[in-house]
Structure 1
Amino acid sequence: MFDIAAIIINYNSSDYTINCINSIIEKSKKNLNYQIIVIDNASEKEDFLKLSEKIKSISFSNLQLVRSKINTGFGGGNMHGVQFSNAKYYAFINNDSIFINDCLGIIYNHMENNNEYGICGPMCYKEDGKLLPTLDHFASPIKELFGRSILEKINSEKYPNRKKEYTKPQQGQFVSGSFMMVRSKDFNSVGGFDTNIFLYYEETDVCKRLQKINKFAYLIPDAKFIHYHGASTPKSIAIKTELKISLLYIIRKHYGYLWHKFFLLFLSIRYFFSSLFKSKYWPLFFVLIKGAHLSSSLKQKQKIWEL
């Protein structure tokens, strides 16, 4: 049994994936007992073959590549990876990440010595060296209505400053999905990621469920990495629409029917007026007035790819 299973998803971005793998191997201490599992989430044939060839050239025996014939999204892809793991901890790492130091080992040691640390992430930086927040506050009606800044000013203990460069472990409501490390037994006990969600808010959902069993989210600032933010998921109206579908699903799941209807109406009005000035928002508006159901998700538009 390994101490850690590092699970990485590749989707048409093999260069980032290879750089991520190399940084893990380079920065992790030689005595760390870990495996790396790469899930290819139905990339184009050329990208998968490129990834496969480069992985064969990496000298690391506990490295495995698994191809999925369908893009199952962030949560689904990571749940696929879990099936091939045999470890005490899962580390879910975005492929557009580069380790600055021994992130796996540092977080592992902290979690081994602190049972209340349920899910942890390292300090995150952009490629230009600027801080990229790791801690965040749950997607909730109050956050959507008032925004992060007001919440942090009103109750800094419950809503710690997400843009602060901490020097000691700091509890938050959830840590960024770009790098999350969790005990496999805790992750398994809450059912893992909700695979109804294709993209976005998976981390707020799983951290909320972990919190219910008294396993809390912590930033571990001694561990540091770079995240090429958004590199693996280019911005588009389709992606923005997916974000709103996931947000509304989370609101309905954790806060109930009335809040869901309120925000559905709120977003519909907002994007109606946005569409009058920017026509690119009309597709998002039409999804909202139809209810923004999971049936409108990109997950429902996948094809099964054969090599």
Structure 2
Amino acid sequence: MPASKVAAQQPLVAIAILNYNGADYLERFLPSVLQTTYPNAQLFVIDNGSTDDSIDRLKKWGFERFMATADQPFPPAQSADRKIPRYYIDLPENYGFAEGYNRGLAQLQHADYYVLLNSDVEVSPDWVEPLIHCLEKSPQRAAAQPKILMEAQRNLFEYAGAAGGWMDHWGYPFCRGRIFSELEEDQGQYDQTQEVFWASGAALCIRSQLYHQFGGLDADFFAHMEEIDFCWRLKKGNYQIYVCPKSKVWHVGGGTLPPNNPRKDYLNFRNSLVCLLKNLEGGPTLFLLLYWRLLLDGLAAIRFLKDGKWGSIAAIVKAHWHFFFAFPKHWKKRAEIKERLAAYAYQKTPRFNTAGYLRKSIVWLHFAKKVKTFKDIEQ
């Protein structure tokens, strides 16, 4: 059978890389993405108003500018002279991770699947096939991530996703292979495909229709934890999130904001609270949990004080202040989520899918009980 017919029988996948002043990352990691073997994929770099020479380099590498129109709502099919067609979408300013993707993907709605891929990720040639194979097994499977390893130490799991994301009772995310800053060595211990709570935004494969039906990423998050918020909404609609370790990628991490950056601390603490407010069930339980969560954040500030991290302490104070200031705005989003669940939940049954949810405190287990690996957690 001709290659063109084989490709046409496969779901159309739009690999979307959001870029902001990341020309060096593109030069370093795009070659691996261009070797992707999946037969019906197209590559898009969504440039978030870069001020470096990203666009000039993309043009040099054969990328063509794309903007959806009525006459051309999606790019032409795969050409014969290259393995994967390549395009760039030129946004006028830096909208942040969340809104940058929303604006770019709005032009790519003819794809069956999106793969949101960070610019600082190296991929293996056959990394897309396991993700699509996993999701195609059931329409209830909404999103999936590969196994994510460190690019610098390739035998270690990487912080942003590792072997699949979990969530504890107090809203703290952790991963198979990563608890807080404790990273495990990959020895094949998490190589089974498994349902999880959230999939990493560093390499997130998702059904395009569901991305738009559930409102995309929350632009108010700007960056950090927006993928957890989105996956939580999907799970409230009885959809499933998976990790598919047969797909493997290597992530630099901290490309935009390095570790121990107060700006990153601010976004993580603020967005985590917003995520809880938006997605937890209402009533006294919600406010009691938020109260205890604020106290736990205070304990985190004490740890920062012991380490002399004054910028991180200020970041927590600022995060709490902005959370309360914007409380009414985020509270209103609960009604919108409810409407979307009523309209688009799987089989019209908006039921919270609890796979990947730990009914304990990972903070207590890690810092008090000295649990350092995912396998040591008594679930």
Q: CA deviation at 1:111?
A: 1.8
Aligned-pair CA distance for 1:82:
0.9
1:250 CA drift (Å): 0.9
What is the alpha-carbon distance in structure 1 between the residues aligned to residue 231 and residue 316 of structure 2?
A: 30
SS in 2 for 1:137: strand
Q: Partner of 2:154 in structure 1? A: 129
Q: Does 2:67 align with 1:37?
A: no
Post-superposition shift, 1:6?
A: 0.8
For 1:125, the aligned partner's letter is: L
Question: In 2, Cα distance between the equivalents of 1:221 and 1:204?
Answer: 19
**Which residue in the other structure is 2:212 paired with?**
188
1:240 counterpart (250, 260, 265): 265
Match of 2:96 in 1: 73
**Residues 1:97 and 2:121 are matched in the alignment:** yes
Q: Aligned pair count?
A: 281
Give runs of aligned pairs for residues 144-293 of structure 1, distance below 5 A.
165-235=189-259, 236-255=261-280, 256-268=286-298, 270-271=300-301, 274-275=304-305, 277-288=308-319, 290-292=321-323
- Aligned match of 1:62: 85
2:60 is aligned with 1:53: yes
Check 1:291–1:185 CA distance in 2 against 1; reply closer, same or farther (3 A cut).
closer
Alignment-mate amino acid for residue 66 of structure 1: I
How far, CA to CA, are the matches of 2:51 and 2:325 in structure 1? 25
Q: Which runs of 5+ in 1 are unaligned?
A: 153-160, 296-307
TM-score by length of 1: 0.79
**1:136-187 C-alpha deviation (Å, 9 max, x unpaired):** 113651647xx779xx9xxxxxxxx997633331111111111111111222
CA contact (8 A) 2:171 2:272 kept: no
Instruction: Classify 1:285/1:204 alpha carbon distance in 2 versus 1 (closer, same or farther; 3 Å).
Output: closer
State how far apart, in whole Å, the 2-side matches of 1:219 and 1:103 are. Answer: 12
In structure 1, the partner of 2:138 is 114
Distance in 1, matches of 2:317 and 2:191, equals 46
- Checking the alignment, whether the CA contact within 8 Å between 1:39 and 1:68 is kept in structure 2 is yes
What SS does the corresponding residue of 2:112 show, helix, strand or coil? strand
Structure 1 residues 209 and 285, CA gap change in structure 2 (3 angstroms): closer
Residue 282 of structure 1: how far off its partner (Å)? 4.7
Query: Do the aligned residues in 1 keep the contact of 2:36 with 2:84 (CA within 8 Å)?
Result: no
Query: Which stretch shows the higher mean deviation, 252-261 or 121-130?
Result: 252-261
SS class of match (1:101): coil
Q: What is the distance in 1 between the residues matched to 2:201 and 2:232? A: 13
Quick check: 2:114–2:207 contact (8 Å CA) kept in 1? Answer: yes
Quick one: distance in 2 between partners of 1:244 and 1:138? Answer: 15
Between the two structures, name the one with larger relative contact order (CA 8 Å, sep ≥ 6): 1
Give me the identity figure in percent. 21
Normalising by structure 2, report the TM-score.
0.65
Distance in 2 between residues matched to 1:24 and 1:105, nearest whole Å: 13
1:93 and 1:180 in contact (8 A); partners too: yes
Structure 1 Cα separation of the partners of residues 104 and 320 of structure 2: 36
